[in-house]
């Protein structure tokens, strides 16, 4: 039996769109498809609500905090997960009421906590004992609290994006008793604690770790009821579902993923008398596949290379500063030529193997071993799929390059900028030349 062909779930630009966008806004350019993003949220939400009718879907803005995208997520019924005052302010700018935001962070600053609570943030996820003490004075402000637990689960993903293991800076360990102590202390201080949270890792293609995390925090909630009479009314299992960076990455469908997690939690809660509202806060699986990055090829260079004879470098007009993920996590992507410089050119003459490099002052191999047409040439446009998450939000000004703009494509094919490119003026606006140097 041959396997069914994989259903393509990633957004990609047509040649005509790519040409038009590159001409209108320049490159490198992040592009997001509005309808695709809305659809991703809807399939996730439908899958979740099918098994947890009161389920709350939160959009993790760390994946992409472009204000217009936060607005879309909110319009689609998501609450908004923020991990800093900056992300919180972006949510407020999008018109999201503070009450629909949740604040995370393993070392939230006092100023961040105060700003959030005074603005009326809906929920704060408590992460350490110092924070519990510091926040006690805000007990009566209406903000609800949940306790982040480290369930002691090691997911199969890159070590830098695993968060649920016992040896982690995030949350309170269940096994060493910290989780229980945190709950008791928060209650003693009068904080309105409604439940628990865990997030075990990111880019999870397999739901096992997430299922274990959900089960463990549900069992913990049940234990807290038996031991202390604490009624959990809210359980948040974080985000984590992966996306299809390459054809080899096959994440579970939103619906199957939600079902497996919810079934495991329901089972763990059976006969406990607890019926908490369940919540998830994905980022990558909502926005990742809705975005592409458009680059223009600047040069193609063949160099001698040990063992393989020669290597062909294709340099694009972006790199580490707009996508640090290959350098940080060894991430791989799908790269395609979307438009030739001259549309009237002849056929490609087959593919060859290229190393796509960026323009930064170091060996920033962006994408190794990619198959692209043999006649690839300066001026051609490349699109990199699945760059909607953790690209724009992790971009930098390394080498003083302006961060790219983001364009949004609407259902009717029209488009607009939702974030403009940095200007040199604003990049230099923070500089101070002290009079001592005059």
CA distance 31 to 12: 9
Is the separation of the CB atoms in 136 and 129 below 8 Å?
no
| DSSP 8-state secondary structure symbol assigned to residue 105 | -
Which residue lies nearest ligand LLP, judged by its C-beta? 239
Identity of the residue, 253 or 272, whose beta carbon is nearer to ligand LLP in the bound complex = 253
Residue with tokens 């402000």: 141
Q: Return residues touching ligand LLP (CB under 6 A).
A: 60, 62-63, 81, 104, 161, 163, 199, 202-203, 238-240, 281-285, 325, 329, 390
Classified as helix, coil or strand, 320 is coil
Identity of the residue, 128 or 202, whose beta carbon is nearer to ligand LLP in the bound complex = 202
Residue (of 411, 405, 323) closest to 72 by Cα position = 411
Q: How far is the CB of 168 from ligand LLP (least distance, A)?
A: 10
Q: How far is the CB of 123 from ligand LLP (least distance, A)?
A: 12
Catalytic status, residue 78: no
Residue (of 243, 235, 329, 197) closest to 64 by Cα position = 243
Identity of the residue, 106 or 348, whose beta carbon is nearer to ligand LLP in the bound complex = 106
| DSSP 8-state secondary structure symbol assigned to residue 322 | T
Q: How far is the CB of 329 from ligand LLP (least distance, A)?
A: 6
Identity of the residue, 71 or 148, whose beta carbon is nearer to ligand LLP in the bound complex = 148
CA distance 148 to 198: 6
Q: Is the dihedral of CA 213, 75, 90, 120 positive or negative?
A: negative
What's the chain's length in residues? 438
Q: How far is the CB of 104 from ligand LLP (least distance, A)?
A: 5
Identity of the residue, 151 or 240, whose beta carbon is nearer to ligand LLP in the bound complex = 240
Identity of the residue, 152 or 239, whose beta carbon is nearer to ligand LLP in the bound complex = 239
Establish whether the linkage from the previous residue to 28 is cis, with ω within 30° of 0. Answer: yes
Classified as helix, coil or strand, 159 is helix
Q: To 5 degrees, how large is the angle CA 277–CA 278–CA 282?
A: 145
CA distance 44 to 257: 9
Residue 49: how many other CB atoms lie within 10 Å: 15
Identity of the residue, 203 or 383, whose beta carbon is nearer to ligand LLP in the bound complex = 203
Is the separation of the CB atoms in 384 and 334 below 8 Å?
yes
CA distance 255 to 216: 22
- Residues 158, 160, 162, 164: what is their CA dihedral angle, to the nearest 10 degrees? 160
50 backbone dihedrals φ, ψ, rounded to 5°: -65, -30
Q: How far is the CB of 236 from ligand LLP (least distance, A)?
A: 8
Q: How far is the CB of 45 from ligand LLP (least distance, A)?
A: 14
Q: How far is the CB of 171 from ligand LLP (least distance, A)?
A: 9
Residue (of 48, 53, 56, 77) closest to 261 by Cα position = 48
Q: Active site residue: 45, 78, 361, 386, which one?
A: 361
Residues annotated as catalytic are: 361
């Amino acid at each position: 039996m041959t396997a069914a062909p994989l259903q393509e779930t990633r957004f990609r630009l047509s040649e005509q769109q790519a040409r038009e966008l590159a001409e209108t806004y320049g490159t490198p350019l992040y592009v997001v498809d509005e309808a695709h993003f809305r659809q991703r949220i809807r399939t996730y939400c439908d899958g979740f609500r099918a098994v947890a009718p009161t389920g709350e879907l939160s959009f993790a803005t760390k994946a992409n905090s472009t204000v217009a995208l936060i607005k879309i997520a909110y319009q689609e019924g998501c609450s908004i997960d923020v991990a800093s005052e900056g992300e919180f302010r972006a949510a407020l700018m999008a018109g999201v009421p503070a009450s629909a935001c949740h604040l995370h962070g393993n070392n939230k600053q006092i100023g961040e906590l105060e700003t959030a609570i005074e603005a009326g943030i809906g929920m704060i996820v408590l992460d350490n004992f110092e924070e519990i003490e510091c926040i006690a004075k805000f007990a009566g402000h209406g903000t609800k609290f949940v306790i982040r637990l480290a369930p002691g689960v090691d997911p199969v993903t890159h070590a830098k994006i695993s968060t649920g293991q016992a040896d982690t800076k995030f949350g309170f360990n269940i096994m060493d008793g910290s989780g229980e102590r945190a709950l008791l202390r928060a209650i003693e201080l009068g904080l309105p604690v409604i439940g628990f949270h865990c997030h075990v890792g990111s880019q999870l293609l397999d739901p096992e770790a997430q299922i274990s995390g959900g089960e463990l925090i549900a069992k913990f909630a049940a234990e807290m009821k038996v031991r202390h009479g604490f009624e959990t009314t809210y359980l948040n299992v974080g985000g984590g579902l992966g996306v299809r960076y390459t054809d080899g990455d096959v994440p579970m469908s939103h619906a199957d993923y939600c079902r497996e997690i919810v079934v495991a939690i329901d089972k763990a809660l059976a006969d406990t008398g607890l019926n908490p509202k369940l919540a998830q806060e994905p980022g990558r699986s909502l926005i990742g596949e809705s975005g592409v990055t458009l680059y223009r090829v600047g040069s193609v260079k063949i160099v001698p290379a040990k063992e393989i004879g020669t290597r062909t470098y294709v340099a694009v007009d972006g790199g580490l500063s707009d996508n640090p993920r290959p350098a940080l996590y060894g991430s791989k992507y799908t790269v395609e030529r979307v438009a030739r410089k001259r549309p009237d050119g002849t056929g490609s003459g087959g593919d060859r193997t290229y190393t796509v490099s960026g323009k930064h002052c170091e060996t920033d191999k962006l994408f190794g071993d990619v198959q692209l047409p043999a006649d690839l040439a300066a001026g051609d446009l490349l699109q990199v799929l699945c760059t909607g998450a953790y690209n724009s939000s992790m971009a930098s000004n390394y080498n003083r390059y302006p961060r790219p703009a983001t364009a949004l494509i609407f259902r009717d094919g029209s488009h607009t900028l939702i974030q403009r490119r940095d200007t040199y003026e604003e990049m230099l606006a923070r500089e101070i030349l002290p009079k001592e140097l005059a």
